[in-house]
A and B are shown apart, each in its own frame.
Chain A
Amino acid sequence: MTSHSKKDRLIMAGLFIAIIATLLISLNMGTMRVTPAEVFQTLIGNGSEQNQLILFDFRLPRMIIALLIGAGMGISGAILQSVTHNELADPGILGINSGAGFAVVLFIYLTHNNPVSTVFVLPLTALVGAVLAAVLIYSISWKNGVTPIRLILVGIGINAAFSALIIVFQLRMDPDNFTQATIWLSGNISGTDWSYTLALLPWILILLPFTIYKASTLDALNLGDETAQGLGAAVEKERMLLLLAAVALAGASVSVGGAIAFLGLVTPHLARKLVGVRHRHSLITTALLGALLLLAADTIGRNILSPSEIPVGLVVSLLGGGYFVYLLMKS
Chain B
Amino acid sequence: MAIGTQQKNRHNSRPVVAGLILTFGLVLLIISMALSILYGAADIDLLTIWQSLTQYDPAQSAHQIIRNLRIPRGLAAALIGAALAVSGAIMQGMTRNALASPSIMGVTAGAGFMMAVAMAINSQPSTLTMMLWAFAGAGLGAGIVFGVGSISKSGLTPVKLALAGTAVTSMLSALSSGITIHFNIAKDLSFWYAGGVASVQWIHVQLLAPVMIIGLILSLFLAKSITVLNLGDDVAKGLGQQTILVKVIAIIVVLLLTGAAVSVAGTIGFIGLVIPHITRFLVGVNYRWIIPGSAILGALLLVLADTASRMINPPFETPVGTVTALVGVPFFLYLARKEGRGL
Contact = CB atoms under 8 A, between A and B. Distances in A.
B166 A88 contact: yes
Contacts of A86: 97-99
Interface string A84-109: 00111100010000000000000000
B175 A141 contact: no
A167 B175 CA distance: 23
B173 interface: yes
A154 B336 contact: yes
Interface stretch (B48-56, B110-118, B320-328): B320-328
B178 A314 contact: yes
Contacts of B159: 87
Contacts of A315: 174
Contact of B98 (A143, A149, A160, A329): A149
A167 B152 contact: no
A331 B104 CA distance: 21
- Interface SS of chain B: helix, strand, loop or mixed? helix
A140 B104 CA distance: 26
A153 B340 contact: yes
Contacts of B160: 328
Interface stretch (B10-18, B233-241, B269-277): B269-277
Given A149-B340, A154-B333, A161-B325, A314 B149 contact: no
Nearest to B159: A87
A68 interface: no
Nearest to A150: B340
B269 A163 contact: yes
A220 interface: no
Given A86-B98, A149-B341, A160-B274, A321 B174 contact: yes
Interface in B290-343: 318-319, 321-323, 325-326, 328-329, 332-333, 336-337, 340-342
Interface string A113-156: 00000000000000000000000000011010001011011101
A330 interface: yes
B149 A328 contact: yes
B275 to A, nearest CB: 12
Nearest to B182: A305
A150 B341 CA distance: 7
A228 B181 CA distance: 48
A318 interface: yes
B325 to A, nearest CB: 4
A141 B174 contact: no
A315 B173 CA distance: 11
Interface string A303-331: 00000001101110110111011001111
Interface string B158-173: 0110111011101101
A239 interface: no
A157 B178 contact: no
A269 B178 CA distance: 25
A56 B283 CA distance: 62
A262 B148 contact: no
A157 B178 CA distance: 29
B332 A157 contact: yes
A198 interface: no
A206 interface: no
A21 B149 CA distance: 33
A86 B158 CA distance: 13
B151 interface: yes
A164 B326 contact: yes
A324 B269 CA distance: 25
B37 interface: no
10 contacts: A143-B340, A152-B98, A156-B99, A157-B336, A163-B269, A265-B166, A313-B174, A321-B168, A324-B167, A328-B163
| 3 smallest beta-carbon distances between A and B, as pairs | A317-B174, A164-B325, A321-B171
Interface of B: 97-100, 104, 148-149, 151-154, 159-160, 162-164, 166-168, 170-171, 173-175, 177-178, 181, 269-270, 273-274, 277, 318-319, 321-323, 325-326, 328-329, 332-333, 336-337, 340-342
Given A150-B340, A317-B173, 16 more contacts: A87-B159, A143-B337, A149-B341, A156-B274, A156-B277, A157-B333, A157-B336, A164-B322, A164-B325, A167-B321, A262-B170, A310-B178, A314-B174, A318-B174, A320-B167, A325-B167
